[in-house]
Structure 1
């Protein structure tokens, strides 16, 4: 008996190491992908072109797995409600979210791009509260902590955006002639970085809305890989339509290095599918709080890589990131405590398997 319990403890410890190491590796992949996408856009590729190729590659990667593992979960026919939900998820979660996200990275930096999604838990909390999916009791300590954490997270995001856009005022000839004035080094704001930050905030808001919609959709269609494959395919199609409407033509510059772009897309789609699958497995094993706690790792990795690639940053933007992470952990701590409290009393947990995406 003792040997079996010891073996169980050893296997549990090995599983913990695999989960921790895998979640850190997933964040490294996300950070590297953000830096690589920023580099590709610097070469002239448009955000919509990247969305088209990566979304279609994700569909190709996920399709065989969804056929093998989830074929029995498919309904015999799709309802009109599901088709509408699928179209909204494809346009909002793929076309709008990814194009806004890539435009934001292009105008700011990969570090900003990986930091902004940490707003999602707070925004999801607000959206779910609005639609009655999240219970809030203002007399409960955990509800107060979630509200405070969301506010701190928002303040951190705005602080990071504003401080990231501050650049020292360059001295001009007129400034040197009037050097006796004490106001020659006033800071100015980079309008491109402010617009890029607004793009990123809009992208995260769109992501939060689609995550809540996914929770509704998966209740009637419990096949997450199939849903991701379908939304990726339809998202690629809607993105092509959006590019045709915006540019009146398909971006021909993408075919200059078509082989390299196709290789990157397949690599990105494959790694993205692996990361999604591992996150789903870790979510099932350890819950959404632990998985979400590792999201700041990608920001730190992107920040370090951005510094080596020449992207500028300052202490103010780092302080904003710290505030955002602090608010994030407040929200996650409160949600975790509520989950344990519900479990102890035998009632339905907030981390019920039917709505894992709300966390």
Structure 2
């Protein structure tokens, strides 16, 4: 009995580590599809969430048909808001940022999520802040360090790691280096917006779960609304008709991976963990992705690691 209880307590931790690994795999695979095949990231987000909706929506009706609470217009409005935060804004900004920078920077910037989530949790009274408490002081210091580090990696791209890479970078034209740094900053700013949106999504979902605990229904409907929003956005910003056509190679693979592991699995696990452990818990695992992202970016994308 004790062993069963222990395993139940460990499950959220193991689930979040798996989610971080899946997330890094998604950003690396999508970066490869966008940089090597030229796939449009708006179309990528749209198609992957559309496929996820096709999987999730019927499942939510089958699984929760006897226990699901009735849906109201107010609740649907909240799902629409979740789709806006967690899909339309967050995902599009993430993949835009990664297209300008790298998956490693994306994982590094995600370390802002715990800090911003903590600030929002305090503002909305989900977290108590006692300045005299050592625990609160540690959280405050961690928040300041996280935000400072995020600005550092956004506005400063240091020298490449490794003698060969350093030598090669010194031979690059100044204009090329300037353009590369500019892209890095632009990518970082998009990733900051994505992180803020993700933190707000965590808080909003925790609040909704208190009044509507049907996790699969929440995930299915905000995927549905996010898909509609992304469809409208894509119709506005994507002018090239050929961008809507997928190649049966890494483009299709990345969309299937994103739909199944990036949306269905990840969103379901995050919602479940937020319901069990709260919004701050799911943000604690973001640092795990940095080392994984750095390794995969170098090995699979041939990218250069930099100091800072």
TM range (shorter): 0.7 to 0.9
Partners of 1:240 and 1:250 within 8 A in 2: no
Cα distance change, pair 77–231 in 1 and its aligned pair in 2 (3 A): closer
Match of 2:258 among 264, 268, 272: 268
Deviation, 1:266, is: 3.2
Question: 1:143 and 2:136 equivalent?
Answer: yes
1:213 counterpart residue number: 204
Partners of 2:202 and 2:279 within 8 A in 1: no
1:337 counterpart residue number: none
Aligned residue pair count = 294
1:46 counterpart residue number: 40
Partners of 2:89 and 2:197 within 8 A in 1: yes
Partners of 1:95 and 1:235 within 8 A in 2: yes
Deviation, 1:243, is: 1.6
Query: Does 1 or 2 have the higher relative contact order (CA < 8 Å, sep 6+)?
Result: 2
Question: 1:155 and 2:139 equivalent?
Answer: no
1:1-359 counterparts in 2 under 5 A? 8-11=1-4, 22-42=15-35, 43-79=37-73, 81-164=74-157, 170=171, 190-247=181-238, 249=239, 251-257=241-247, 261-272=251-262, 273-278=264-269, 292-308=283-299, 309-315=301-307, 317=308
Deviation, 1:250, is: 6.9
Q: Which has the larger radius of gyration?
A: 1
Q: TM-score, normalised by structure 1?
A: 0.71
SS at match of 2:187: helix
Which structure 1 residue ranges, 5 or more long, are not aligned? 1-7, 176-186, 318-359
RMSD: 3.1
